[in-house]
Structure 1
Amino acid sequence: MEHHHGQTERHQGWKTSRSTDLIFRGITAACAGLVLVVMAGIFVSLVWNSLPSIRHSGISFLFSKAWDPVSNEFGALSSIYGTLMSTAIAMLLAVPLSMVIALFLVELAPPKISYVVGSAIELLAAVPSIIYGMWGLFVFAPFMADNVQPLLSKYLGWLPLFQGPEMGIGMMTAGIILALMILPFVSTVMRDVFAMVPDVMKEAGYGMGATTWEVTKDVTIRYGIQGMIGACLLGLGRAIGETMAVTFVIGNSSDIFISLFEAGNSIASRLANEFAEASDPMYMSALMELGLVLFLMTFGLQVVTQLWLKRVKRKMGGDLL
């Protein structure tokens, strides 16, 4: 009798546990599905509101730099160029610097210094973007105009990238401000990734006579490559869609210049500058199509990066990832 009673209790416990698992699985699946629904809703909304502009301009919208709301001439080329250029500058500056900072904090710095510096970097992530923009306009842009741009023009002025008016605002300033904004996110994630590398793997490297640099290069970085790429994606997503900080310092020009000293515009800055004053339906639709282009650019970059990540994992070996 007691044996039968024990079996009944175990059976009920198993049923309860199974029901809990099913509920948990359903909740997690619903949350994951909600993300897809929201993304699909954003995409459909952007496409629907962009239809008048798509019918009006067609594919030429992507290859024209004209932007004249009075005559209903709209083109996204200058905004796409500004978005990609400012983001590229930010990533070229922020990613190597973030990697060096993360490696220093994990591999070289004493624990107390690592804690203090790491906390200070994390605090930078809490600074609102509009503060970066105001600081960039009133402090950093004059510094660029008075010191950095004249120096670059003097020694590298023979390159088209460093020719043009030394105003302080422009593509270079916007890229540097973006780099400062994404650096806390990228470096913090990279630091956590490097900290998760098993000590036994590094100790094995040291035991075989490897130097600190060799262990860092061949063990730490190889083991954490997937997390490093994730950190770069996080920074890329922040940089490519940043609005207020870029709006303050990029200059809002519809022309395309090779020089980094010249003013430009990004998709996000154009939307921030002009969305409130867009009263004409076609004008509004063109801005919505700009938003659609930004959405598709971000999605495309994510897809390309994931494909590249799979290639890296196959090349470096799944045992280190």
Structure 2
Amino acid sequence: MRIDLFDFDLPPDRIALRPASPRDSARMLLVDGDRPFQDRTVRDLPSLLRRGDVLVFNDTRVIPAQLEGMRGEARIGATLHKRLGLRQWQAFLRNAKRVREGDRIDFGADVTAIAGPRDEDGCVTLDFEGDEPVELLLERAGRMPLPPYIASKRPTDERDRSDYQTMFAREDGAVAAPTAALHFTPELMARLVAAGIGSETLTLHVGAGTFLPVKADDTDDHRMHAEWGRIDAATADRLNAVRASGGRLIAVGTTSLRLLESAADESGIIRPFADETRIFITPGYRFRAVDGLMTNFHLPKSTLFMLVSALMGLERMHAAYAHAIAQGYRFYSYGDSSLLLP
């Protein structure tokens, strides 16, 4: 499909620079089949789902993966993308033309790395010097890797260390938050339990590739970046039991959805999974594992807007986004939510 089919106009003032407070006070657009759109809030979620439904969350934890350093006189920015080894990470570099293989980059706070080879995606391998765990180095020298559309409008600050982390965050490794789950609070979870709505967690370490623009003109020519995910056998069994008993699996975020679909076989049975996935979901895809999606509002021409269009229909999602823009919904990572029920 042509990429320009997924374009739309978004006023810049619709981009949220801070999350709603409290988190579950964010607005939520209900897109329920072909029924009229409903303007709700995240707090309404227990009344919008059915007893026996299960919300599936991503428990990845965002690491402070953004570094600023110097290679000689050249200023270099690095966003870690994927762990390759104990002290080795792939990174997207800003001002990468000034870095050659073997160069030493000083990120301050006694954190240095040697630049390695560049791969076909433009990522550079960084070998961190010393014997401290890289996670400790990042806590000392790194910043939270806010999306470019926020970071270009204001500096990252201490608030972002908590704002850009979900209440489910346990497994270190993401360089972008699974932002749909930023709306959840312990109080909301308690109300969901009381309404008979369950929850499960899986792990998909979100990579910086999620923010890269689609440069191809056609979806057939776009190549997704790999991200590592895991669903253990016990979790897979419980998820399959939910659907077998008539409950629905509602993915909280496109990351949870992509991992569930990667792990499901042709018959819709979710298998244990511990591997990388490059799954690219566009209109025409047959969903196997999920029955709905809670997600924020995504960028024009992004792979994530393609995914929601595959779930609900391209025309339907253009109409939903036009409604959201007209009604003043806040967009992107710190923005409002939507509940999509095909």
Instruction: Normalising by structure 2, report the TM-score.
Output: 0.20
Q: Which has the higher helix share?
A: 1
The structure with the largest alpha-carbon Rg is: 1
Instruction: Normalising by structure 1, report the TM-score.
Output: 0.21
Q: Which has the higher strand share?
A: 2
